[in-house]
Amino acid sequence: MAFRADEAARMGYERAVNYLISRIRDADESQRARSKEAFDDIVDKYGPVIDSYPSWHPLVSNHDSHDPVTSPSRECGYNGLDHTIHLANAFITCPYHDGQKVIDSVVALPPHPVATITAERLDVQLYQPNANPILVKCDWDKPLAMDRMIPLSLAMPLILEKEIPCWQWSQVAETWEIMRPYFLGAPHGSRSSLFVSQDTGQAIKKIWNALIYTGMFGNIKV
């Protein structure tokens, strides 16, 4: 089935609203409306709800290349996350503690060369009345295109920065089919996702195939 970005974004949005807003207990309609308005503003600024990030995305790239991750966690520098919804360039986490662990861990992240990661408390109810929602956001230092897709000029160097050093210890070369979730994020199609366009995905695939066929990572895994 062909990947339909609009449909994937709509389904993700509905799932997030159901998770973050519909389940709030003892909230009146005005509170729910305020929560939904705040969430809609965040989606409008930081992109659609997603399932997982490309492993090179600034929000998750602080990980061990031997064991890459595609969701925010301790493995990429975050502490105190709970009840989390991911957006293309931000995530909302709703711990029952005061959220300071999350904020402190974001402050402690190493600087990123092309993006700034920050965290802030939200002054609306999300998930549950006694949860304390925190917004962790990725602001790119270079402007994205009108469609908010990450251009090849940013995606490719970030991929190469993570993957090229692996030649020193890799035993086999992973094919595009295996690496696609790590390069495109999820949901995704054969060459595009909610992060990168069809043209960008095709270029990434072409460059990756050229790399693995050099033999630098070892024999191609079959």
Three-class SS state of 88:
coil
Greater confidence, 129 or 202? 202
Quick one: average pLDDT of 145-164? Answer: 94
pLDDT digits (tens, 9 = 90+) for 39-79: 999 999 999 999 999 999 999 999 998 999 999 999 999 99
pLDDT at position 28, please?
79
Residue 25 has pLDDT above 90, yes or no: no
Strand-pairing partners, residue 121, are 134
pLDDT at position 153, please?
96
Per-residue pLDDT band for 2 (boundaries 50, 70, 90) equals: low
pTM of the model: 0.95
pLDDT digits (tens, 9 = 90+) for 131-144: 999 999 999 998 88
pLDDT at position 147, please?
83
Per-residue pLDDT band for 22 (boundaries 50, 70, 90) equals: confident
Identify whether the C-beta of residue 114 lies closer than 8 Å to the C-beta of residue 24.
no
Tokens of residue 142, six digits: 């270079």
In our burial notation (b when 16+ CB lie closer than 10 A, e otherwise), range 94-129 reads bbeeebebbbebbeebeebeebebebeebebbbbbe
